[in-house]
Amino acid sequence: MPLDPQADALIKQMAAAPGPKLEDLSPQDARKLASMTFKMLEGAPQEVGKIENRSIPGPAGDIPVRIYTPSGNGPFPLLVFYHGGGWVIGDLDTHDNACRALTNGARCVTVAVDYRLAPEHKFPAAVDDCYAATAWAVEHASELGADPSKVAVGGDSAGGNLAAVVALAARDRGKPKLAFQLLIYPATDGALDTYSHKTFKDYFLTDGAVRYFWGHYVRGEADKRDPLASPALAKSLRGLPPALIITAEFDPLRDEGEAYGEKLRAAGVPVTTTRYNGMIHGFFTMTGVLDQGKKAIEEASSALRKAFGR
């Protein structure tokens, strides 16, 4: 299908804007650019019942988290969310709107994790933080007004990668027990050799940016082949929680996300894979300018409610 008219207009607008490409910036300057870009595209924030910023213990020091609670009486299901940004950019603020929308839409407590970023903290620092934060959230579920028997992990892009990896780690370590994984255009394989990688090189997420992110995240090919970096390379996907995988047609990560869905299905894991035609990478958090982002949040919220039995 052709590029969605809203996405086409956005790409043309961004192409005409002056300034360097993200992959030509230092990580610090890339973070500043990303924060401005997210703010321009995210739309109006939804009100939620309560928001709390706090720090929790992690493997290398405290981990900042933001806890969103819907209005009404709990206990609510629990979603632990990891933001996207190639493990290099992004933070609690860049994904604040998405977490608010998922909290309201799924009627769940959402714990957003501000994990350590690369290149200051290479793989597996982000994995370690995300797993530790998930374990903490489940252990403290009653304190959070959440139900520890109804827990999901989720994230977009690099956050989708981390959600898939935390699900693998939780299975292999025997805890915490997860009910669902929400994988929004996830990075699942560092090989970067799919048809979509070769074809969709300049649709918001460029080929240069993908390689920039991976280059900062891992130390070399051995890290790339580690299943905790490339979950598609795990020896087995059996026993993982059910999943919703959302992909975008004009996204270099499209094919690896959909291939991961096929691998989950072949391993007996219930999975729904939805491709949003005409869309680009990042559309889930661009609800201010892309209507299909709103539809994707609605689908994700519905899938979470179903998984939680609500």
Q: Which residues are catalytic?
A: 157, 251, 281
Assign 3-state DSSP to the chain and report helix, strand, coil percentages, each to 5: 45, 20, 35
Determine the Cα–Cα distance for residues 80 and 143; give it in Å rounded to an integer: 15
User: Per DSSP, what are the bridge partners of residue 245?
Assistant: 183, 273
Contact by Cβ (8 Å): 133, 56:
yes
Determine the Cα–Cα distance for residues 49 and 70; give it in Å rounded to an integer: 5
Determine the Cα–Cα distance for residues 223 and 131; give it in Å rounded to an integer: 18
Which ranges of 82-230 does DSSP label H, i.e. alpha helix? 96-106, 125-139, 141-144, 158-173, 195-199, 207-217, 221-224
At 150, is the secondary structure helix, strand, or coil?
strand
At 271, is the secondary structure helix, strand, or coil?
strand
Look at residues 99, 107, 53 and name the one whose alpha carbon lies nearest to residue 76: 107
